[in-house]
A and B are shown apart, each in its own frame.
Chain A
């Protein structure tokens, strides 16, 4: 298996622009998680989906952030408009609720820089 795939790996954009981050979970996994990692705040859960349905989006910072999961093999995290404080590494992770442990498998991350 290729693991969790994220694209792009790096994104540099100007303040005010729309940014879309993409994630392909491991085939067969039915839960998907979006995290943000910064030096100041550490690793934060933004939102997670179960069977393509958003379950908990309480970690989404504000209305500028939105996430979708149109099917079991694809998810997007969109920031519109982007701001310099959104600069961070964004991770996607997936897991299977049919297993015993619910362990999560992480993608390599997207490093976002907003200037």
Chain B
């Protein structure tokens, strides 16, 4: 089984400041990793994903994430945030093998960008 821990439930940050949203996972098998974003009153939208290759993954809206296998982490970063980045962010994993091919989500991090 897999589990995902998002260490911060709420992250307030000022506009144009950098931000890091933390995600750690636990799994007995290799996994693919995802970050989804949910804007108010909308569904979840894929931000970026790590499948293989370079551990630094770039996504939409200037976000990037780095996969660290030894630390089982997949932290999300943005060097300069905008008001429009205010949303909830979910980290998720899916196993590469086995019969349970559904996503396991973290509990989410609410990013609030302040003017």
Residues of A bordering B, CB below 8 Å: 4, 31, 33, 42-43, 45, 48, 56, 91, 93, 97, 100-109
Known: A33-B102, A105-B46. 12 other contacts (CB 8 A): A31-B101, A42-B108, A43-B90, A56-B100, A56-B102, A100-B51, A101-B32, A101-B94, A102-B94, A102-B103, A106-B44, A107-B43
The total number of A-B Cβ pairs within 8 Å is 42
Question: In the bound complex, do residue A102 and residue B32 qualify as a contact, i.e. CB atoms below 8 Å apart?
Answer: yes
Question: In the bound complex, do residue B107 and residue A103 qualify as a contact, i.e. CB atoms below 8 Å apart?
Answer: no
Residues 63-90 of B, flagged 1 when their CB comes within 8 A of A and 0 if not, give: 0000000000000000000000000001
Residues 22-34 of B, flagged 1 when their CB comes within 8 A of A and 0 if not, give: 0000000000101
Minimum CB–CB distance from B96 to chain A (whole Å) comes to 9
Residues 11-39 of B, flagged 1 when their CB comes within 8 A of A and 0 if not, give: 00000000000000000000010101000
Question: In the bound complex, do residue B102 and residue A103 qualify as a contact, i.e. CB atoms below 8 Å apart?
Answer: no
With A101-B49, A102-B32, A103-B34 already in contact, the answer to whether A43 and B105 are too (CB < 8 A) is: yes
Task: Name the residue on A nearest B99 (C-beta).
Answer: A55
Set of chain B residues within 8 Å of A104, measured between Cβ atoms: 103
CB-defined A-B contacts under 8 Å, sample of 21: A4-B43, A33-B103, A42-B107, A42-B108, A43-B90, A43-B105, A43-B108, A56-B100, A56-B102, A91-B44, A101-B49, A101-B94, A102-B101, A103-B34, A103-B46, A105-B46, A106-B36, A106-B44, A107-B43, A108-B43, A109-B42
Question: In the bound complex, do residue B44 and residue A45 qualify as a contact, i.e. CB atoms below 8 Å apart?
Answer: no
Q: Which of A93, A100, A103, A109 has the most CB of B within 10 A?
A: A103
Set of chain A residues within 8 Å of B101, measured between Cβ atoms: 31, 97, 102
Set of chain B residues within 8 Å of A93, measured between Cβ atoms: 44
